[in-house]
Amino acid sequence: MTPNGWLQILFYAVVVFAITKPTGLYILKVYDGSLRWFAPVERLFYRLLGVDPEEDQHWTRYTAALLVFSAVSMLVTYVVLRLQGHLPLNPFQRPAVVGRQAFETAASFTTNTNWQSYSGETTMSYLSQMTQLAFHNFASAACGVAAAVALARGVARRSGGRIGNFWVDLIRGTLYLFLPLSFVLALLFVQQGTIQNFAHYVTVTTVEGVKQVLAMGPVASQSAIKQLGTNGGGFFNANAAHPFENPTPWTNFLSMLAIFVVPAGLTYFYGRTVKNQRHGWALWAAMFVLFAGGVTTVYWAEARGNPIHAARGVDIVTSASNPGGNMEGKEVRFGIANSALYATVTTDASCGAVNSMHDSFTPLGGMVPLVNIQLGELIFGGVGSGLYGMIVMAVLTVFIAGLMVGRTPEYLGKKIQSREVRMAMLYVLIFPAVILLFTAASSVLPAGLAGRNNAGPHGFSEMLYAFTSVTGNNGSAFAGLTGTTYYYNTMLGLGTLFGRFAMMVPMLALAGFLAERRTVPESAGTFPVTTPLFVVLLLGVILIVGALTFFPALSLGPIVEHFLMHAGRLF
Partner 1 sequence: MALTKRPLFDPPIVKRAIRDAFVKTVNVRHMVRNPVMFVVLVGGILTTLVLVRDLASGAAGTAFTLQLALWLWFTVVFANFAEAMAEGRGKAQADTLRKSRTQTSAKRLRDPANQESFESVPADDLRKGDIVVCMPGDMIPGDGEVIEGVASVDESAITGESAPVIRESGGDRSAVTGGTRVLSDYLVIRITADPGETFLDRMIGLVEGAKRQKTPNEIALIILLSGLTIVFLFAVVTLQPFAIYSGGAVAIPILVALLVCLIPTTIGGLLSAIGIAGMDRMIQHNVIAMSGRAVEAAGDVNTLLLDKTGTITLGNRQAVEFVPAPGITREHLADRAQLASLPDETPEGRSIVVLAKQFGLRGRPLSEGEHGHLELVPFSAASRMSGVNARGLELRKGAAEAIGRWLREHGAETPAALTTEVERIAKSGGTPLVVAEREDGKARALGVIYLKDVIKGGMRERFGQLRAMGIRTVMITGDNQLTAAAIAAEAGVDDFLAEATPEDKMALIKREQAGGRLVAMTGDGTNDAPALAQADVAVAMNTGTQAAKEAGNLIDLDSNPTKLIEVVEIGKQLLITRGSLTTFSIANDVAKYFALIPAMFVATYPALQALNIMRLHSAQSAVLASVIFNALIIIALIPLALRGVRWRPAPAATILRRNLWIYGVGGIFVPFAGIKLIDMLLVLLRMV
For partner 1, the binding residues (CB under 8 A) are 396, 399-409, 413, 416-418, 420-422, 425-426, 428-429, 432-433, 436-437, 439-441, 443-444, 449, 457, 460, 518-521, 523-528, 531, 533, 537, 540, 544-545, 548-553, 555-556, 559-560, 563-564, 567
CA angle in degrees (0–180, nearest 5) for 438-389-28: 140
Nearer residue to partner 1 within complex by CB, 336 or 514 = 514
Phi and psi dihedrals of 341, rounded to 5?
A: -65, -45
CB of 435 to partner 1, least distance (A): 9
Nearer residue to partner 1 within complex by CB, 3 or 521 = 521
CB of 37 to partner 1, least distance (A): 39
Nearer residue to partner 1 within complex by CB, 216 or 426 = 426
Nearer residue to partner 1 within complex by CB, 69 or 399 = 399
Nearer residue to partner 1 within complex by CB, 329 or 456 = 456
CB of 234 to partner 1, least distance (A): 31
CB of 466 to partner 1, least distance (A): 14
Residues 528 and 533: their CA atoms lie apart, in Å, by: 8
Residues 79 and 69: their CA atoms lie apart, in Å, by: 16
Phi and psi dihedrals of 165, rounded to 5?
A: -120, 115
Residues 399 and 414: their CA atoms lie apart, in Å, by: 11
CB of 103 to partner 1, least distance (A): 25
Local structure of residue 546 (DSSP, 8 states): I
CB of 520 to partner 1, least distance (A): 4
**Secondary structure (3-state) at 482:** coil
- Cβ atoms of 522 and 278 closer than 8 Å: no
Nearer residue to partner 1 within complex by CB, 53 or 456 = 456
Residues 370 and 437: their CA atoms lie apart, in Å, by: 17
- Cβ atoms of 368 and 294 closer than 8 Å: yes
Q: Could you write out the DSSP letters of every residue in 328-349?
A: TTB-TTTHHHHHHHHHHHHHHT
Nearer residue to partner 1 within complex by CB, 179 or 425 = 425
Nearer residue to partner 1 within complex by CB, 211 or 518 = 518
CB of 398 to partner 1, least distance (A): 10
Segment 66-70 long-range contacts (CB within 8 Å, at least 24 positions apart): 66/143, 66/146, 66/147, 66/166, 66/504, 66/508, 67/501, 67/505, 69/139, 69/143, 69/166, 69/170, 70/110, 70/111, 70/140, 70/143, 70/501
CB of 109 to partner 1, least distance (A): 28
